[in-house]
A and B are shown apart, each in its own frame.
Chain A
Amino acid sequence: MAETKTYREALREGMVFGMEDDENVVLMGEDIGVYGGTHLITDGLYDQYGPKRVMDTPIAEGGFVGAAIGMAMTGMRPIVEMMTWNFSFLASDQIIQNAAKVRYFSGGQVKVPLVIRGPNGGGVQLSAQHTHSLENLYGHFPGLKVVSPVTPNDVKGMMITAIRDDNPVIFLEAGALYGTKGEVGEGDNAVEFGKARIAREGSDVTLIAYGRQVNLCLRAAETLEEEDGVSAEVIDLRSIRPFDEQTIIQSVEKTHRAVAVQEQWKWFGVASEVAAIIQEHAFDSLDAPVMRVSGAEVPAPYARNLELAAFPSEKMVANAARKSLYIEEK
Chain B
Amino acid sequence: MSEGKKGAVATKEGSERLVELYRKMVLVRAFEDACGRGFRQGKIGGYLHVYTGQEAVATGLLDAYREGDRVITAYRDHAHALLLGATADEVMAELYGKGSGLVKGKGGSMHLFDVDNGLYGGYGIVAGHIPLGVGFAYAQRYTGTDHITQLYLGDGSVNNGAFHEAANLAGLWGKDGMCPCLFVLENNQYGMGTSVGRSTAQEDLAEKFRAHGVEAEKVDGMDLEAMLEAGERLTAQVRETGVPYAIEAMTYRTVPHGAADFFEKYRTKEEVEKWRERDPIGLLEKRLVESGVEEGKLDEYKDEAKEEVQAAVKFADEAEEPDISELYTDVYVGEDEYLGSDNNGGNE
A65 closest partner in B (C-beta): B131
Kindly state the separation between the CA atoms of A71 and B332 in the bound complex, as whole angstroms: 18
Kindly state the separation between the CA atoms of A79 and B102 in the bound complex, as whole angstroms: 31
Chain B residues with CB under 8 A of A24: 142-143
Q: Is the CB of A108 within 8 A of B330?
A: yes
B108 closest partner in A (C-beta): A105
A167 in the interface, Cβ–Cβ < 8 Å? yes
Stretch of A94-102, A118-126, A203-211 on the interface side: A94-102
Within the complex, which residue of B115, B132, B162, B331 is in contact with A142, where a contact is CB–CB below 8 Å?
B331
Chain A residues with CB under 8 A of B133: 70
Kindly state the separation between the CA atoms of A58 and B169 in the bound complex, as whole angstroms: 8
Given A64-B131, A71-B136, also A142-B339 (CB < 8 A): yes
B190 in the interface, Cβ–Cβ < 8 Å? no
A67 closest partner in B (C-beta): B135
Chain B nearest CB, measured from A179 CB (Å) = 33
B226 in the interface, Cβ–Cβ < 8 Å? no
Q: Is the CB of B143 within 8 A of A67?
A: no
Give the most central of B114, B135, B137, B332: most A CB within 10 Å.
Answer: B135
Number of B residues with CB within 8 Å of any CB on chain A = 50
Chain B residues with CB under 8 A of A107: 101-107, 113, 330
A104 in the interface, Cβ–Cβ < 8 Å? yes
Q: Is the CB of A97 within 8 A of B128?
A: yes
Chain B residues with CB under 8 A of A71: 135-136, 138-139, 142
Given A52-B142, A104-B106, A142-B340, also A68-B128 (CB < 8 A): no
A106 in the interface, Cβ–Cβ < 8 Å? yes
Chain A nearest CB, measured from B164 CB (Å) = 8
Q: Is the CB of A58 within 8 A of B172?
A: yes
Q: Is the CB of A106 within 8 A of B111?
A: yes
Q: Is the CB of A69 within 8 A of B332?
A: no
Chain A residues with CB under 8 A of B104: 107-108
Q: Is the CB of B135 within 8 A of A74?
A: yes
Chain B nearest CB, measured from A277 CB (Å) = 11
Size class of A's contact patch?
35 or more
Given A24-B143, A97-B125, also A104-B138 (CB < 8 A): no
Chain A nearest CB, measured from B168 CB (Å) = 6
Interface residues of B in 175-213 (CB under 8 A from A): 178
Chain A residues with CB under 8 A of B172: 58
Kindly state the separation between the CA atoms of A65 and B134 in the bound complex, as whole angstroms: 11
Q: Is the CB of B132 within 8 A of A98?
A: yes
B166 in the interface, Cβ–Cβ < 8 Å? yes
B235 in the interface, Cβ–Cβ < 8 Å? no
Q: Is the CB of B128 within 8 A of A98?
A: yes
B140 in the interface, Cβ–Cβ < 8 Å? yes
Q: Is the CB of B165 within 8 A of A74?
A: no
Within the complex, which residue of B115, B131, B137, B334 is in contact with A69, where a contact is CB–CB below 8 Å?
B131
Chain A residues with CB under 8 A of B115: 106, 109-110
A183 in the interface, Cβ–Cβ < 8 Å? no
Instruction: Convert A53-67 into 0s and 1s, putting 1 for each residue whose CB lies closer than 8 angstroms to a CB of B.
Output: 000011010111111
CB pairs A–B below 8 angstroms (23 shown): A62-B161, A63-B166, A66-B128, A66-B131, A66-B165, A67-B138, A67-B166, A69-B131, A70-B132, A70-B138, A71-B139, A71-B142, A73-B136, A75-B143, A93-B125, A104-B331, A106-B111, A106-B121, A107-B103, A107-B105, A107-B330, A143-B331, A194-B338
A residues lining the B interface (CB < 8 Å): 24, 26, 52, 57-58, 60, 62-76, 93-94, 97-98, 102-111, 142-143, 145, 165-167, 194, 241-243
New A-B contacts (19) at CB < 8 Å, excluding given A67-B131, A69-B132: A60-B165, A60-B169, A62-B131, A63-B161, A63-B166, A63-B169, A64-B165, A66-B128, A66-B166, A67-B132, A67-B169, A70-B139, A71-B138, A72-B135, A73-B132, A73-B136, A110-B115, A142-B331, A165-B333
